Chains A and B, each alone.
Chain A
Amino acid sequence: MKAFKKLWRLIFLSATLTVALCACGGDKAGDASAHITIGIPQDLEETLDPHEAMAAGTREILFNIYEGLVKPNSNGELIPAVADEFSVSDDGLTYTFHLRKGVKFHNGSDVTAEDVLYSIGRNADPSSETAYASAFSNVKEYKADGENIVITLNQKDNDFLQSMTIGIIPKDVTDIATNPVGTGPYMYVSRSPQENVILKRFKDYWGEKAYIEDVTLKICSNADSIVMDLLGGSVDFFARITSAQAAQLKDADFNIEEGTMNLVQAMYLNNAVEPFTNEKVRQALCYAVDPKEIINLAFDGKGTELGSSMFPAFGKYFVKEINDVYDVDLEKAKELLKEAGYPDGFSFTIKVPSNYQPHIDTAQVIAEQLKKIGVTAEIKLVEWESWLSDVYIGRDYEATVVGVDASQMTARAMLERFTSDSSKNFVNFKSDAYDAAFNNAISTTDDAKATEYYKECEWILAREAANVYIQDLAEMVAINKKYTGYEFYPIYVLDIAKIKPVK
């Protein structure tokens, strides 16, 4: 009898304890300048090597850790970083960079000319297999001259300076993939797979130091729960939310900032599998899919329609008219399908990474639109990791909806992907006309001519319907009212060092 009274008391006690504990748990706002939690939609890649990592989601974080001799600013211009000044010879073949004094690596050692040569060498070496190897294939010679780094090219290349944004790493760190050491405003502390990545402010940074001391990059791979994390307060910042998600945050402690994502969202088609080997089928899909309706239904009308693999931030390379190649025309689409031998339509599967809500939503609208021409699109959600290995690397898919950008702000980086033998050509696009135009573009030294050739490439992508192009997504960034200062970049970058607490 007594025992049970005791038991009741125990239960009561534990219940109150629970409430007390929770009360502590809920109140941990803390000092905004000390810490920020940034939600990211996927875990970083296995490798954090700046010359190997290829996923945009990894690069946008590595931007904070590594710097090149030059680096982009938020206007898309290249500004000196590890080098404090640079010059190009009149013939455009020789680049001279002067090393900035007092630049330190995160491990405390000074940046030397040997480190820079080592970093360039990893990419420029003929046997190099890094993600940048092709961009460096034009390098004839690179050497140090006192505090100057002198690079000579085989032929003039207007985009070469972009390649010098590659991260400078110390030559004596052998495990850079798991132990990143760079010169950027934040240094890497640790990572816990599928959970988080921790960064810390680099106190010896040469330039304007970051504002916030500790940064937790929390992996929020469930697109459906991002709003809950933001509302609940466990995430302070999340880039690239959908307008529906933004609407949920209206009354909460968040500012929603709008920019553009600077990528090409499209339904990418595997040009090497039936029936997408047939140009007419691909064109039919382009006639049936209405980007405007997608933008209205899923994105509250925010977004820029695209017609090819190029977005407005590229300035002179962007051709607005390409968007008019395919106006919605269901009759024409059906006609094309009939000509291609699919009068009753066909069915195929769209693989979509399950952590990107915008792409899932887009795919759902596309599936609905394609029904009208008798084409059945099944959606299959896959984890980001298997998207990378199966779709992007393995090319084992029929169609996928994702956003694709370029690792550098050059037309070459954006368009080289679609040349027949590019290792990045995950859509297996093969067009002799395209390859010819692209080769013309990279071999000419005349910038105006090169621009024309690149534009021709874009037209070919549209006319041959390499993919079903949709839009450059509006980027909506949710940022807790405790913070400010976020800057949009024309490339896929998340500049954490600019975020600062509101005083």
Chain B
Amino acid sequence: MKYVLKKIGTLILTLLAVSALVFFAFSLIPSNPAIARLGTEATPEKIAKLMHDMGLDRPVLERFGSWILGILHGDFGTSYSYNQPVTTLLSEKIGVTLLMSVMAILITCLLSFPLGIYVARKSDSKLDVLFTTINQIVMSIPSFFSGILITLLFGLILKVFTPGGYVSYKKDFLGCIGYLIFPAFAIALPKISMVVKLLRDTALKEADKDYVRTAYSRGNRTKAVFYKHVLKNAIIPVITFLGMTFADIIAGSIIVEQVFRVPGLGRILLTSISGRDYPVVEAIILLLATAVVVSNLVVDLLYKKFDPRIHV
């Protein structure tokens, strides 16, 4: 329990540091959002008034404080370029990105475990070279490239799905899943081969250990030993890996969203960054960072559960 509390404490500290970093980074930029909005119509009085309306005339620390307070109340401020509360603006888009990322993780798990176990068990056969070669190649394909190939093959040639035909999950949940499965697969592909490799390598390492040899020598059946001892020990690094991958998957989704024209956080992040819509950018970054930090925490806790010897 103490361990968990300590972990949560660090998590909060880290998030505070993230928000401070993001907020002050944007305060350093010389460009004034009020002037950017007024453009040629800008007069000193108008700028002053708009800055006052936007709350930009207050000291930085005070703004930071009220920003943090607002977030605690679920208020991320108002978008400069859309004049809407950031929460309304982002609510649906978060869902899209999250759904896609979770699907990518699911696909990774569903495909990589059986594949990895199969490859691990064949690791002493002739097929091993073939498997590891294929695996290594798949690992090297960036998801935006595989995304383009998937669009070409499944979208344009086989016509299994409509490129760009994303439908909102609020309107048609199954249709949305049916579309998102392709980008999610493109994101998952390199991750699958990484897990397969990890499973194979750890399984090989474990199989060399004394206790496994003892188990074999006691006359236990090969398969049983494999599942009971080897796999059990291989699962810990895999879980660690999956947890760390979550950050990667979210970052990857920003790019893959562009390939498949999925209107998630990626699109709005890109336009908000270039449109200097800082409240939106700050909110997205903070959200993504939270997702990453929380997933790391979950991994830490799982880790402890699987292997109580670990004391960090």
Q: Which residues of A contact B (CB under 8 A)?
A: 1, 4, 7-8, 10-11, 14, 18-19, 21-26, 28, 43, 46, 129, 177-178, 192-196, 218, 220-222, 225, 228-229, 231-235, 382-383, 385-386, 389-390, 392-395, 423
A295 to B160, alpha carbons, bound, how many Å? Answer: 37
Q: Which residues of B contact A22 (CB under 8 A)?
A: 154, 160-161, 178, 181
Contact A229 B163, CB 8 Å, known A21-B174, A46-B82: yes
Q: Which residues of A contact B89 (CB under 8 A)?
A: 193
Within 8 A of A (CB), among B33-78: 35-37, 39-41
Q: Which residues of B contact A194 (CB under 8 A)?
A: 263, 267-268, 271
**Contact between B165 and A383, CB atoms less than 8 A apart:** no
**Contact between B178 and A231, CB atoms less than 8 A apart:** no
**Contact between B175 and A386, CB atoms less than 8 A apart:** no
**Contact between A26 and B261, CB atoms less than 8 A apart:** no
Segment with Cβ contacts to A, from B111-119, B208-216, B235-243, B281-289: B111-119
**Contact between A383 and B274, CB atoms less than 8 A apart:** yes
**Contact between A228 and B39, CB atoms less than 8 A apart:** no
Within 8 A of A (CB), among B104-126: 110-111, 113-114, 117
Q: Which residues of B contact A231 (CB under 8 A)?
A: 156, 163
Give 25 A-B contacts (CB < 8 Å), ordered by A residue. Answer: A4-B114, A22-B154, A23-B160, A25-B161, A25-B162, A177-B83, A193-B84, A195-B267, A220-B261, A221-B267, A225-B259, A225-B261, A228-B151, A228-B163, A229-B164, A231-B163, A232-B151, A232-B155, A233-B165, A383-B271, A385-B271, A385-B275, A389-B39, A392-B39, A393-B40
Q: Which residues of A contact B84 (CB under 8 A)?
A: 193
A8 to B155, alpha carbons, bound, how many Å? Answer: 27
Nearest CB in chain B: distance from A230 CB, A? 9
A21 to B83, alpha carbons, bound, how many Å? Answer: 38
**Contact between A8 and B114, CB atoms less than 8 A apart:** yes
Nearest CB in chain A: distance from B278 CB, A? 13
Q: Which residues of B contact A14 (CB under 8 A)?
A: 110
| Most B CB within 10 A of own CB, among A43, A46, A194, A423 | A194
**Contact between A21 and B274, CB atoms less than 8 A apart:** no
A19 to B84, alpha carbons, bound, how many Å? Answer: 39
Q: Which residues of B contact A129 (CB under 8 A)?
A: 41
**Contact between B151 and A394, CB atoms less than 8 A apart:** no
A389 contact from B159, B177, B178, B276, Cβ within 8 A: B276
Please list the 9 inter-chain residue pairs (A to B) with the smallest Cβ-Cβ separation, ordered nearest first: A393-B39, A232-B163, A234-B165, A229-B164, A21-B178, A385-B275, A25-B178, A195-B263, A234-B164
B258 contacts partner chain A, Cβ-Cβ < 8 Å: yes
Nearest CB in chain B: distance from A229 CB, A? 4
Nearest CB in chain B: distance from A30 CB, A? 12
Q: Which residues of A contact B159 (CB under 8 A)?
A: 26, 232
Q: Mark B146-175, 1 if CB is under 8 A from A, else 0.
A: 000001001110011111111000000011
Q: Which residues of B contact A21 (CB under 8 A)?
A: 174-175, 177-178, 181
B227 contacts partner chain A, Cβ-Cβ < 8 Å: yes
A194 to B162, alpha carbons, bound, how many Å? Answer: 19
Contact A233 B162, CB 8 Å, known A193-B82, A194-B267, A393-B39: yes
Q: Which residues of B contact A228 (CB under 8 A)?
A: 151, 155-156, 163-164
A385 to B166, alpha carbons, bound, how many Å? Answer: 23
Q: Mark B225-236, 1 if CB is under 8 A from A, else 0.
A: 001000000000
Contact A394 B36, CB 8 Å, known A18-B181, A25-B175: yes
Contact A222 B258, CB 8 Å, known A22-B181, A231-B163: yes
A231 to B179, alpha carbons, bound, how many Å? Answer: 16
